[in-house]
Amino acid sequence: MTSVKEFRVDEPATADSLGRGRFVFTDAYSVFDWGQMPDAIPRKGASLCAMGAFNFELLEAEGLPTHYRGVADADTGETVALADATAPPTEMAIDLTQVPDLPYEGPEAGYDYDAFRAAGGGNYLVPLEVVFRNRVPIGSSLRRRADPADFGLDADPDIAADEWPDEPVDLPEPVVEFSTKYEEQDRYLSRAEADRIAGAADVDALESLALDVNRVVTERADAVGFAHEDGKIECLYADGELRVADVVGTFDENRFSYGGRGVSKEVVRQWYRANDPEWVEAVKEAKAAVAGREIDDWRELCERDPEPLPSAVVDAVSELYAAGTNAYTDREWFDVPDIEAALDAVDGL
């Protein structure tokens, strides 16, 4: 089980063939890489399942290969297209690939990607997250790792070459980055390092596929009044082909806004920064402290646990996920206020 969804295997993958399985979406959530938090957000699992399935079907319609096979109908349990689901689904049928162990060899040697690639052969989940960015919002990590001039933004006389403005900035072209997937702390990679880690999966092909996914999700977002700011994909490699894996284009994987207001998991992150800063700082310190140690799990060093969300926050975030899914898919899956009312409730917290 991951922090937010369970993983069921119906037919395991082998070195020669893909398997079959399902994601079961729960109402659990995770922020700051903590894993499962102490409470749950009702309707979140069904929201992400419906939105993810909707985007997978958009990708399939565009001819982009994925591991998606449909959703489980709530009444019959049969695998159906999203349009044929009789209620908000919580299970997604998928093709499975191999996910080898990634050994940690200590602070000097680091992670053994050679062993990962050897175990995966020609059928494995690429151990990278491929991140695409259309906008640089206030909370984006890109502001810490690059300057506006790196993207030609200083051509705008209102933007300095080395200082980000105190407002979101649209990028002239989408930017693609690569980060680790299975290390205890995600880290951004140079293109050369990403290519080495990817193994037989070509890094140029990963970038091209990510840009295609970004285009499809951005076009859909524009059509229904959202702005698509950034997101990521994960991919499997099998029989010489890349396929989009995991889940695509949800409020957990991607950052959207509606009328200039954020619609994503960032709402919860910001609540913790404002209301439980001691835990946020303890997480930061634990991540820093693990460097140079023989263990790689920073959580063992964290001196605090997160506080549960107040019920008013849980209710508001639940309605935001549900209303956002209704608006994005253009179907009333959930009996909740519209997206603008849901955003007003979050603003009032």
Radius of gyration over alpha carbons of the chain, in Å?
20
Give the bridge partners for 119, in sequence order: none
Query: What's the one-letter identity of residue 41?
Result: I
CB 25 within 8 A of CB 8: no
- The token pair that represents 281 in the structure block: 């700082």
Strand partners, 13: none
Which single residue is written with the structure tokens 């037919």?
11
Residues 37 and 31 sit within 8 Å (Cβ to Cβ):
yes
Residues 6+ apart with CB under 8 A from 330: 224
pLDDT of residue 332: 97
Q: Which amino acid is at 223?
A: A
DSSP code per residue over 79-126:
EE-GGG-SS---EEEEEE-------B--TTT-B-HHHHHHHHTTEEE-
Using CA atoms, how far residue 145 sits from 142, 189, 200, 243, 314, in Å, is 5, 11, 28, 29, 33
User: Tokens at residue 341, please?
Assistant: 């009312």
Residue 153 structure tokens: 């933004």
Q: Tell me the three state secondary structure of residue 318.
A: helix
| Long-range contacts, 195-202 (Cβ 8 Å, 24+) | 196/113, 197/113, 197/127, 197/128, 198/126, 198/127, 198/128, 199/113, 199/116, 199/117, 199/120, 199/124, 199/126, 199/237, 200/117, 200/122, 200/237, 200/240, 201/126, 201/235, 201/237, 201/242, 202/242
The C-alpha atoms of residue 333 and residue 225 are separated, in whole angstroms, by 18
The enclosing H or E element of 24 equals strand 19-25
Maximum alpha-carbon separation in the chain: 60
Q: What is the pLDDT along the chain (349 residues), one digit of tens a residue?
A: 346 789 899 999 998 899 999 999 999 999 998 999 999 999 999 999 999 999 999 999 999 999 999 999 988 989 999 999 999 999 999 999 999 999 999 888 899 999 999 999 889 999 999 999 999 988 788 999 999 999 999 999 999 999 999 999 999 999 999 999 999 888 999 999 999 999 999 999 999 999 999 999 999 999 999 999 999 999 999 989 999 999 999 999 999 999 999 998 989 999 999 999 999 999 999 999 887 777 778 998 999 999 999 999 999 999 999 999 999 999 999 999 999 999 999 998 8
Supply the pLDDT for residue 1.
Answer: 39
- In this prediction, residue 3 carries a pLDDT of 64
Cβ(188)–Cβ(145) under 8 Å? yes
Q: For residue 166, give both structure tokens.
A: 């105190």
Place of tokens 């396929």: 243
Compute the CA torsion angle 308, 287, 131, 203 (nearest 10 deg). Answer: -150
**What pTM was computed for the model?**
0.93
